[in-house]
Amino acid sequence: MFAGVGPALVDYIHSIDVYPERGGHAVVKSTIKSAGGAGANVIYGLSKYGIKCSFYSTIGMDEDAKIFKRSMNGVHLKLSVTHEKTGKVDIYVDNDGERTFFVHPNASGILRLEMDDEDFKMNDYFYLDPFPSESSLDVHIDVAKKAKNFGKTVILSMSYPYVIVGFDKLKRLLRYTDMVITSKAEFEILNVDEEDVLQFVELFILTMGKDGAKALTKDDTLYHQAYKVEVVDTTGAGDAFAVGFFYGYLKGYDLKTCLKIGNFVASYNVQHYGARNFPPLHEVESHISHDCEDI
């Protein structure tokens, strides 16, 4: 079973023409609401592809909590109520598909996870996604330590909230991590070399947007190009890549094929508004057997 440990959020996605300068204004053309949270998006996608999944987080008692729970149908959930309101993200998407985030932590900023020994026994993989909380790193270190004690695989989504704490602090978590996935833009904030990360982990996955993605081990570097598509919204592109990559990984495909699947799923996602747009599984399986430069 593949477990996610990260924030339960609901996204409010606002479409605008151009993001304004500070002090300016922009007209919101439309708004859609959907369940989100990077780790939750990954778990949702893998579950839709037939992978048995679980998810651990904190949540509120509002309508957004109901929306989030309904969205995770088929996933084993353990959600602690820690605040009246569920975590919320306002996302503004401009004409180029670029997005800007404003996070309201609410319950996702108050971390009291319900995880006991049975949870660590039943799950084989633990995907750690940062919470919008100062205690997030310590909570994930505790989860990672316990997971390793049970002989499980720990995967870290090394996204913005963690890279800004600096590499010295992040090493405390990397010591208990087997795989890392992050974007090139986020990784560059750390101001370290790829080899520095590979001192701690077996696999380092680096997404590079329109420049594709690569997977690095201590012995090899593999690359796959991105697909050329019309971008509508880049929200959740990295999450969609992770869904495709880890689906391939769990199914036993080689790393180059995993990169190919990840790029394919991400390219589908960015052609739609929202973070949870994934191609049907039969299209993914069909794509694996074809060498396509464009879709």
pLDDT score of 291? 57
**Tens digit of each residue's pLDDT, the chain (295 residues):** 999 999 999 999 899 999 999 999 999 999 989 899 999 999 999 999 999 999 999 999 999 999 999 999 999 999 999 999 999 999 998 988 888 889 999 999 999 999 999 999 999 999 999 999 999 999 999 999 999 999 999 999 999 999 999 999 999 999 999 999 999 999 999 999 999 999 999 999 999 988 999 999 999 999 999 889 888 777 778 999 999 999 999 999 999 999 999 999 999 988 887 778 899 999 999 888 775 444 4
| Predicted pLDDT at 231 | 82
What pLDDT score was predicted for residue 150? Answer: 98
* pLDDT for position 256: 95
Q: 3-state secondary structure string, 68-107?
A: HHHHCCCCEEEEEECCCCCEEEEEEECCCCCEEEEEECHH
Q: Rounded to an integer, what distance in angstroms lies between the CA atom of residue 181 and that of residue 294?
A: 24
State residue 230's pLDDT score.
85
Domains in the chain with CATH codes: 2-8+37-87+110-288 (3.40.1190.20)
